[in-house]
Structure 1
Amino acid sequence: MKVNTEPLKADTFYHIYNRGINGENIFKTENNYRFFLNKYILHIEPIAKTYAYCLLANHFHLLICTRSEDEIYSNLNVNVDEVSNLINVKKDRTASFNISNQYAKLFNSYTQAINKSINRTGGLFETPFRRIEIKSDAYFSKLIWYIHQNPQQHGFVSDFRDYPHSSYHSHLQTKATRLQRDEVLKWFGDGEEYVKFHSHEVNSETIRDLKIDFN
């Protein structure tokens, strides 16, 4: 039985993660990373705020907070009166459907483009994608650290700071960003404390409660 697939709720923090089918790479070229982020902005920004991310060759991690029901309905042009009049359908359930549907659009549109570019057929991502609700401040802090450390843990780089496809450096820059940069830096205190927190060494005890399950 698959776990971490509960319906997504509005106005809730989540760790979202997924991987390629059978461990297949989902990012085939360097340009694929940017293409995915552009698709992500198009489909996910209307329904969620993003605090951290890391894209690796065969999987990805996201730390998001889903938007409020009203924001979701407004951004997606959902008629709330029609939703309210549906028999046995609650507004929050419909918000949940819209959140998941936007992720489906992201994965499907990205897969179609990749398949076309390499003459491939079939699905690219495992389904359903996984999610873990974030219920504590400590977990939120450690998850940002874990997401940014992930490339080093998987051997893509010897130092996670050298990895180009994560949000680590974006939080330390001043140029415009879609990330919740100000909230993240304020959470840690400032940029210096953010960097200091990320310097903590990785060991089995540190990541014990952060290990993910794809089974």
Structure 2
Amino acid sequence: MKLEILEKDKIYHIYNRGINGEPIFTSDENKRYFLKLYLKYLENKVETFAYCLMDNHFHFVIRINNETEVTQALSNLFNAYAKSFNKQQNRTGSLFEKHFKRIQIENEEYLKNVIQYIHLNPKHHLDMDYKSFTFSSYLTILSNKATNLLRNEVIRLFEDIDNFIYCHDFKNEVLSEKQKLE
């Protein structure tokens, strides 16, 4: 299977999970360290719209700034984290599934849907309150604290902060009703 090349100025949904669905994060400290490595390896190479770190998988929506270096930078991030996690957990072998997944986002409506999907992950995977989930960009977008996220661009996608909240609440209700029917 040939992997899609990440192109400059394009937006992608990047995600992966632990091998065999196993945890890749066993503590909040693991998640903080992963985000620290994310900044170390990807700062100035990508711009981040949204993210969510779950115990056995992660999601990012990014825009590529530097296509010649970003794939290697992502590989370096995942390798550095896997080595650290394996050492901490006294384990060996692959931590992540073979290749990280990437889907190019080609329009604003799809981008908005992916951002909401990522933010709602805690609710629909673990039945946790996505509004207070620490390892998602949802709270960061709502805050006024300094961030590397494309906060203003995300808010503009949803028109304003109130509509950002409304759209997430509405999608959450729709997904909750759908789950009840299944």
**1:33 and 2:31 equivalent?**
yes
Which amino acid in structure 2 is aligned with residue 25 of structure 1?
Answer: P
1:203 to 175, 178, 182: 175
Q: Distance in 2 between matches of 1:99 and 1:51?
A: 16
Which consecutive unaligned segments of at least 5 residues does structure 1 have?
A: 73-94, 207-215
Q: Distance in 2 between matches of 1:22 and 1:130?
A: 15
> Deviation above 4 Å: which 4+ runs of structure 1?
none
What pairs with 1:61-210 in structure 2 (closer than 5 Å)?
61-67=59-65, 72=66, 95-96=67-68, 98-157=69-128, 159-200=129-170, 201-203=173-175
Relative to structure 1, is the Cα distance of residues 139 and 204 closer, same or farther in structure 2, using a 3 angstrom cutoff? Answer: farther
TM-score normalised according to structure 2 size: 0.91
Q: Deviations over 1:63-100 (max 9, x none)?
A: 11001xxxx3xxxxxxxxxxxxxxxxxxxxxx34x211
Q: Distance in 1 between matches of 2:41 and 2:82?
A: 14
Helix, strand or coil for the counterpart of 1:160?
coil
1:56 to 54, 57, 61: 54
TM-score normalised according to structure 1 size: 0.77
Q: Distance in 2 between matches of 1:197 and 1:33?
A: 27
Report how far residue 203 of structure 1 moved. Answer: 3.1
Q: Distance in 2 between matches of 1:99 and 1:197?
A: 31
Helix, strand or coil for the counterpart of 2:144?
coil
Q: Distance in 1 between matches of 2:147 and 2:117?
A: 21
Which amino acid in structure 1 is aligned with residue 174 of structure 2?
Answer: V
Helix, strand or coil for the counterpart of 2:47?
strand
Partner of 1:84: none
Query: Larger Cα Rg: Structure 1 or Structure 2?
Result: 1
Computed over aligned residues only, the root mean square deviation of the Cα atoms, in angstroms, reads 1.8
Q: Distance in 1 between matches of 2:127 and 2:169?
A: 18
Q: Distance in 2 between matches of 1:193 and 1:203?
A: 18
Corresponding pairs, count: 176
Which amino acid in structure 2 is aligned with residue 106 of structure 1?
Answer: L
Report how far residue 36 of structure 1 moved. Answer: 0.3
Q: Distance in 2 between matches of 1:151 and 1:166?
A: 9
Alignment identity in percent? Answer: 43
Which consecutive unaligned segments of at least 5 residues does structure 2 have?
A: none
CA contact (8 A) 2:132 2:139 kept: no
